[in-house]
Amino acid sequence: MALSLINAPARVARGQVFEIRASVAHTMESGQRADSEGRLLARDIIRRVECRYGGELVFAADLFPAVAANPYLAFHTVAVASGPISVRWLGDNGFEHSASVAIEVT
């Protein structure tokens, strides 16, 4: 279930600062926990998040094992032109997921 959510306003006035909220379904297994047999569970986390607005990188973050499951990030950017906002999640074991929403700048 590589499923993610992006919440951004559908319409924003040009020049206005607006908030983007993104989350993704991911276990964020830290690599520190053991299973019921005492074996260490291999680390499986998301390591990088990138948000592009109209193709330009507006936000990026590196995530670490202390981040809880199903990471949620909220950040701001300035409305310059109508276009897609895409969020890309990259992680261990080749995890890659991206999604996008369109915003209209008036």
Partner 1 sequence: MKGPAAWLSWLLTLLPLAPTAAAQGDARRSGLEFMTPALQALQRDDTQNPAALWLKDGEQRFSTACNACHTPQDLRGVAARYPAFDSVLGKPVTLTQRFNLCRQRHAKAVPWAAESSELLGLAAYVGSLSRSMPIAPPADPRLAPFQAQGQRLYAQRIGQLDLSCAQCHDSQAGGRLAGSTIPQAHPTGYPIYRLEWQAMGSLQRRLRNCMSGVRAEPYAFGADEFTALELYLMQRAAGMPMDTPAVRP
Choosing from 23, 82, 86, 100, the residue that interacts with partner 1 (CB under 8 A) is 23
Which of 11/14 has CB closer to partner 1?
A: 11
Choosing from 69, 78, 81, 102, the residue that interacts with partner 1 (CB under 8 A) is 69
Stretch that binds partner 1, among 40-48, 63-71, 75-83, 88-96 (CB under 8 A): 63-71
Stretch that binds partner 1, among 18-26, 42-50, 53-61, 83-91 (CB under 8 A): 18-26
Shortest CB 68 distance to partner 1, Å = 6
Tokens at 91, concatenated: 């992680």
DSSP string, the chain: ---EEEE--SEE-TT-EEEEEEEE----B-S--B-TTSPBPPPB-EEEEEEEETTEEEEEEE--TTSPSS-EEEEEEE--SSEEEEEEEEEGGG-EEEEEEEEEE-
Binding residues for partner 1, rule: CB under 8 A, are 1, 3-5, 7, 21, 23-25, 27-28, 68-70, 72
